[in-house]
Structure formats: C-alpha cells, structure tokens
C-alpha cells in the first residue's frame, strides 16, 4: 500500500496552486482511469487534488455558435445534452459507444481527453514499457500486439489511444482551455496529443500543473451528416479494433466538405487529412469512399498480430462515410 495526500479544491486557482508543478501530484475527478492505474502501481501520486467542486460542470453555447464544455461534465450528461444531440450527433454517438453506463456516469470530459492507453504492457508494472519507464523497451513490439496501433507508431511505442470521445472531437475540431501556474492559454485539440516518437512518455502538451478547464467545439459544418462506427470484438463494453467518425456535407451529389477521424488504430486521436483531401469535391459514391480509405491507411505500419486492422479500418471508413452521406441527404433532401 502506497500512501498519498488528498486535497479538495474549492476553485480553479486553489487547484492550480495546490498542484503546483509537481509531477507526483495529480488532479482527480471521476477517477475512472487514474484510480485503476494507482491500484496497478503504474501511477504513484504523492497527492491527489479533487476538482469536483470547481464550477466546470456546465455546457453553454457561445455567441459565435461554438459549444463550450466544462471539464467535469460527465460523459453521460454530454452524450444526452440537447445541444450535443442536435448539433454534434457524432460526439453523442461516440460517447454512447464507449465504456458502460456506470463508467459514463463517472467519467468526465477532461478526464477522457487525458485517458491513458489500455496497452496491457503499459498496465503491467513488470513489463518493459517506454511509455511508463523511458528507455526500458517495448514488449508489445514482439509480444501480443493484436490491439495495437498501425498509424503514428514509432520504434519506441505502438500503444493505441483508447478514447471514442476524442475521435469525435478530432473530427469536429475543438479548442482546449488550459489553466496553470503560468496563466490561461488555449490550444487546438488536434495539437494536444503527441505522437510517441522517441519519447512516448510525453503523451500530451500539458505543462506541469496545468488543468484542462474547458473544451470548446468548433461551429458545426452547415448541412452536414455525421456517423460514428466502432468495430470491436463484442457489442458493448469493449475498446475499438477500428473506429471512424465522419462529418460530411453533400451538395448536388458532390462532397462539399468532409471531416474524418479514426480510433483503435493510432497512437493518438487520428485526423485523416489525406482522406479528407481525397473526398473534397468528389461524388458521394462508394468508389470515392474506398479511395479515401486507401489514402487514410497509406502510411500504416502493421506488426505480427494487427495487420488485419488495416483492411478493417478501411471498411470502417467506407461505412461511416456512406452513413454520414445518407444522414446529410435525409436532413437536406433538396440538396
């Protein structure tokens, strides 16, 4: 048993001050990932700062039409929020495909952004893992790597990012508001998570002591349809083998705008820019979708047990794009 201190913050300033820039201090809200990792002896905080009393549990529409989500809004409340369901259906679909009802009731928006990999070697303190212990090696490289990444990998790490919510946010586009000892700053969501490279232990761009206070979603694409498809070993309470989140606007049978992100196959929430470029101003057809899927996976790097993820991800992309286009057509029959 490892002992640690526990403090409850009453406001953001107190939370940041209490945390300081100490790497051995962690913020906690729902704790659905953090407490697991503490029990597994993967994370060893000397102190936890509880942020549940902070005024960060609201969802509000800004004057410019964007949606601002507080850090402690639960996954359940966010998935069922009327504005999310009406204007950002991709996010609602992604959230409801993840975890279980009980976990969604506890998990928070910022906690989901900060979710750690479910790589079994990372979660096993006796295994070699560069992400957990820099320089120790990566047992996944020559181990059982069926669930591991094929995009954004390096010689140091092939761990998959596990979040469904983050895939939807990568496709929609968002801005993170961060507050820490150096003040408040904003960062594009797609710039926040880092590729492993030679330093997989550096998973994100959060500075020491910083706290995610809000996630602000970009203005929705006008007239677009959306679809989130998650392919997995069983229908519920399972992580993705491959997932695709698509937002597509169609006009006169042609794709006016497309946003696509992938999950289950990459080391971070994966915005498929090459596929989006392949879709732009092209007919909304299966042939176009297959071409985009090829573009999205052109740089994939398979390992012994996960090569099947490449054709599986292509299938997920084609199906998600097809359903998103149907959704757009149903919402805008005159187009």
Alpha carbon of 132 to those of 49, 117, 197: distances in Å?
Answer: 22, 10, 14
Q: What does the pLDDT average to over 215-238? A: 97
Confidence band, pLDDT 50/70/90 cuts, at residue 227: very high
Confidence band, pLDDT 50/70/90 cuts, at residue 335: low
Q: How far apart are CA 128 and CA 137, in angstroms?
A: 5
Q: What does the pLDDT average to over 86-115? A: 98
Confidence band, pLDDT 50/70/90 cuts, at residue 53: very high
pLDDT at position 315 over 70: yes
| Fold designation for 225-331 | Enolase-like; domain 1 (3.30.390)
CA geometry: angle 227, 96, 62, nearest 5 deg: 75
The string of pLDDT tens digits covering residues 15-52 is 999 999 999 999 999 999 999 999 999 999 999 999 99
Residue 331 confidence (pLDDT):
83
The string of pLDDT tens digits covering residues 159-197 is 999 999 999 999 999 999 999 999 999 999 999 999 999
Residue 143 confidence (pLDDT):
98
Confidence band, pLDDT 50/70/90 cuts, at residue 274: very high
Q: How far apart are CA 26 and CA 212, in angstroms?
A: 12
Q: Tell me the sheet residues that pair with 48.
A: 6, 26
**What is the enclosing helix (H) or strand (E) of 291?**
helix 286-296
pTM above 0.95, yes or no: yes
Residue 333 confidence (pLDDT):
72
**Mean predicted lDDT score pLDDT of the chain:** 97
- Domain edges within the chain: 225-331
Q: How far apart are CA 179 and CA 170, in angstroms?
A: 21
């Amino acid at each position: 048993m490892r002992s640690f201190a526990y403090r409850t913050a009453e406001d953001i300033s107190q939370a940041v001050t209490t945390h300081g820039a100490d790497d051995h201090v962690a913020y906690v809200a729902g704790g659905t990932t953090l407490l697991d990792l503490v029990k597994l002896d993967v994370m060893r905080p000397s102190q936890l700062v509880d942020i549940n009393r902070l005024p960060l549990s609201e969802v509000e529409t800004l004057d410019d039409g964007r949606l601002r989500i507080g850090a402690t809004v639960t996954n359940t409340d966010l998935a069922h929020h009327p504005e999310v369901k009406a204007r950002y259906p991709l996010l609602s679909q992604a959230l409801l495909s993840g975890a279980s009802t009980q976990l969604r009731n506890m998990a928070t928006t910022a906690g989901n952004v900060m979710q750690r990999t479910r790589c079994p070697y990372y979660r096993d303190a006796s295994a070699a893992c560069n992400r957990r212990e820099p320089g120790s090696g990566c047992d996944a490289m020559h181990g059982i790597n069926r669930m591991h990444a094929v995009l954004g990998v390096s010689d140091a790490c092939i761990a998959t990012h596990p979040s469904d919510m983050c895939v939807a946010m990568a496709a929609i586009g968002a801005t993170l508001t961060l507050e820490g000892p150096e003040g408040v700053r904003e960062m594009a969501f797609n710039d926040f998570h880092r590729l492993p490279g030679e330093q997989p232990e550096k998973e994100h761009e959060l500075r020491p002591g910083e706290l995610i206070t809000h996630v602000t979603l970009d203005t929705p694409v006008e007239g677009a349809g959306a679809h989130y498809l998650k392919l997995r070993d069983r229908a519920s309470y399972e992580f993705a083998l491959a997932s695709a989140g698509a937002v597509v606007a169609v006009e006169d049978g042609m794709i006016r705008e497309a946003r696509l992100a992938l999950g289950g196959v990459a080391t971070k929430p994966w915005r498929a820019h090459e596929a989006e470029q392949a879709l732009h101003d092209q007919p909304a057809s299966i042939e176009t979708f297959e071409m985009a899927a090829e573009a999205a996976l052109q740089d994939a790097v398979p390992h012994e047990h996960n090569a099947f993820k490449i054709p599986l991800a292509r299938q997920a992309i084609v199906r998600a794009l097809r359903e998103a286009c149907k959704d757009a057509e149903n919402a805008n029959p005159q187009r």
